[in-house]
Amino acid sequence: MSDTHAQTVAYVRDTILPQQEPPISEKGVVRWLRANLFPDWFNAILTIVALFIIYKLLAGFLPWFLGGVWTTDSLAECREVLNGATGGCFSVLTERWNQLLFGFSYPDTEYWRPTLAFILLFAAAAPLLFAMYVPSKVLYFTALYPFIAFWLIWGGTIIVPLMALLGFIAGYFVFKQVEAQSFSGALGAAVVAALIVWFIGGFVSEAMTGVLALEPVASRDMGGFMLNFILGTVCVSLSLPIGILLALGRQSHMPIIKWICVGFIEFIRGVPLITLLFVANVVLAYFLPPGTNFDLILRVIIMITMFSSAYIAEVIRGGLAALPKGQYEAADSLGLDYAQSMRLIIMPQALKISIPGIVNVAVGLFKDTTLVSVISMADLVGMIRGPILASTEWNGVYWELWGFAICMFFPVCYGISQYSQWLERQLATDHH
């Protein structure tokens, strides 16, 4: 049969037709619009309504933002410049940015110290957040960072954080020496060793107050977004390990430990955070010896950490309960003791399940640091409500200041949320 005849017979073509272009409605932007915005009449109506709302918001916001004034010294001057036109008075940000970021009393010449501590935080957190991409040797800097940051922000002699570091090192070495004999005994010996070093370090630091000393800054002089960031970072970092211990304690078979953990968790979860902050500010002083100077920021850190650790404990307990019983039995069959099975098998899986809940608590905790303004601490909200809006120059400026607060908090909270989603994708081992 000739080729010409074969091509005329139905279903016996032996040559390939040239590729045809898809219809205009099935490619490019048109296809995307049809698939995502106008798949049917109901979604088309929702898209149109959403576009109308976005248009109205932008039509009101853009002229106000683009027509804003940035160079005046007061609200009255700003209104004179605008002369009835639409525009925001952003001069309050250019004049008071240092108070919004660092508080009212932090020395102007020392702004580089908290700024440097903030930059170093990314290097310290990298091996913890991106362990698969960062060399493990950077963990040494991560261990040193809390002491470096304390010295940079609070100032004083470097001997104080150095002796604090030596206490932890001494406790670690004592723990490793005694761990093989008894875990609880090793923990107790480590605490005793650390306390001894810190006790000696108190005398050493008093004798060497001028060694590598930065200008001391009292806690009452700290404020602005810097205070919110310090509270959020420290409390989230401390509440996670404490929450893990509380979750394990609540599931313990030892009744006293279980009752203590259950009582702590239920009490803290049943009390508003603002109540705990008032306790930290006022009531806690009555339980201390007369003349004791207990730093207010430290008191607030303790209360916020207690509050968030109770919630994280419940999140992790849910992760532990979600694991199949076979995981616990598999750990027992391998001959692992309790600490080994939790560290190597149970807790990694429970933490993976608990990531969304932990992140939810962390984001809520970071936003709740603004509650310290109620106890007269000059955080970002406290600075806006207090010295700035109370001043005659800027009394009446609201949208600009609260918009600045949004621009400070939103990137941090959104970044935490995005990191958690990325981490979930990295740990997704159960996909087929």
Tens of pLDDT along 244-255? Answer: 999 988 888 888
Residue 317 lies inside a defined structural domain of this protein: yes
Q: What residues contact 185, with CB distance under 8 A and at least 6 apart?
A: 178
pLDDT of 130: 87
91 with 396: CB under 8 angstroms? no
Longest dimension (CA), the chain: 112
375 with 281: CB under 8 angstroms? yes
| b (16+ CB within 10 A) / e for 186-203 | beebbeebbeebbeebee
How is residue 28 written in tokens?
A: 């490019």
Q: 196 - beta bridge partners?
A: none
Q: Crossing angle of helices 347-368/224-250, nearest 10°?
A: 150
Query: What distance in Å separates the CA atoms of residue 164 and residue 212, rounded to the nearest whole number?
Result: 16
Residue 391 lies inside a defined structural domain of this protein: yes
Residue 7 lies inside a defined structural domain of this protein: no
End residue of a domain, out of 32, 58, 84? 58
For Cα atoms 228, 209, 152, give the angle at the middle one, nearest 5 degrees: 25
387 with 95: CB under 8 angstroms? no
For Cα atoms 51, 55, 56, give the angle at the middle one, nearest 5 degrees: 120
Residue 203 lies inside a defined structural domain of this protein: no
Provide the CB-side half-sphere exposure for 4 (13 A, CA).
0
pLDDT of 56: 94
pLDDT of 424: 84
pTM greater than 0.75? yes
Residue 410 lies inside a defined structural domain of this protein: yes
End residue of a domain, out of 11, 34, 58? 58
End residue of a domain, out of 58, 77, 101? 58
pLDDT of 432: 44
Q: Domain limits at 30? A: 24-58
pLDDT of 9: 55
Query: What distance in Å separates the CA atoms of residue 99 and residue 140, rounded to the nearest whole number?
Result: 34
Q: What residues contact 413, with CB distance under 8 A and at least 6 apart?
A: 363, 366, 367
Q: Is 156 helix (H, G, I), strand (E, B) or coil?
A: strand
Q: Find the CATH number of the domain harbouring 295.
A: 1.10.3720.10
Mean pLDDT of each 10-residue bin along the chain, 432 residues long = 53 74 72 83 92 93 89 88 86 90 88 93 89 85 92 89 90 82 78 88 79 84 92 92 90 87 92 86 72 78 91 90 80 76 82 88 91 87 87 86 93 92 79 46
Residue type, 36: N
| Structural domains in the chain (count) | 2
Residue 65 lies inside a defined structural domain of this protein: no
Residue 199 lies inside a defined structural domain of this protein: no
Residue 180 lies inside a defined structural domain of this protein: no
